[in-house]
Amino acid sequence: MSNEQKPAGKLAGKLAGKAAAITGGNQGIGKAIALEFAAQGANIFLMDRKAGTLPAVAAEVEALGVEAGHCELDVTQPDGVEAAMEAVEERFGRIDILVNCAGVFQSHRFLEYPLERWKLLMDVNVTGTFLCCQSALRRMVPRRRGKVINLSSIAGRMGAPYRAAYYASKHAVIGLTRSVAMEMAEHGINVNAICPGMVDTDMFDTVLETVGPHVDAGDTEKLRAEMLKRVPLGRMIEKEEIAKLALYLASADSDGMTGQALVLSGGMVLA
């Protein structure tokens, strides 16, 4: 049986038989997307720098009736990225969908921003997205189809003090997404980005813990409450809501959409 004819683990759903590679898949938004895609019939390959929890997440995915693979991945390492994408092909025969969720956050006063910290955020959030896109797209182009979803942020649509590197990196992800989308359109490949607002994840806890001292917010719950006042809907966005939007971008429902950066922020940012 050829790679293109491998049967799906689950024969129903909007992504039935598709193979999805997800970076940052061990927790938060990445894990939520993996479970949503699996529920819709996609086989899932999870990649994360913190590999210890990947087997447990893979087991949750397989409990939904599909296949799952996983590997440790530092997205800043070109050889590692290439090996990871090869592993996806070995397991499932192809890559239909790539979701770039791997990312890091830091907060520093701009005049004191350590260069090594700036480079870290750019390496993970921007270069990592670039490397994974490039490697996966080289495999999608010959097949003339594929979906790429990059996780940006409302940070890519605005500015804020003490977060220069993170906000700059997320602006860059949107620019990368739009440029790559224009090149890939002739190959029948869709490239889009999602810009989440305040999502209740470990990364958001890091935002509260590291930004708080700069704004003299007191405890993190007080800062959370202050930040929520900027959200017209008055609540956090659930990671499962981001996963539903990712499903739309991964499915045939969005075949006419490319180069977009879709905001899901409860009205905090009006795109």
Helices first, then strands: H and E counts in the chain: 9, 7
64 phi and psi, to 5 degrees? -90, 5
Instruction: Classify 210 as helix, strand or coil.
Output: helix
**Cβ neighbours, 10 Å, residue 138:** 12
Sign of CA dihedral 113, 159, 173, 31: positive
Tell the burial category of 259 from Cβ atoms under 10 Å away from its Cβ (0-12, 13-18, 19+): middle
Catalytic residue among 113, 166, 167, 248: 166
Q: The tokens of 56 are what?
A: 């447990």
Give catalytic status of residue 166 as yes or no. Answer: yes
Buried b (16+ CB within 10 A) or exposed e, 10-40: beebbbebbbbbbbbbbbbbbbbbbbbbbbb
Could you give the angle at the alpha carbon of 78 between the alpha carbons of 114 and 70, nearest 5°?
Answer: 105
Which residue numbers are catalytic? Answer: 166
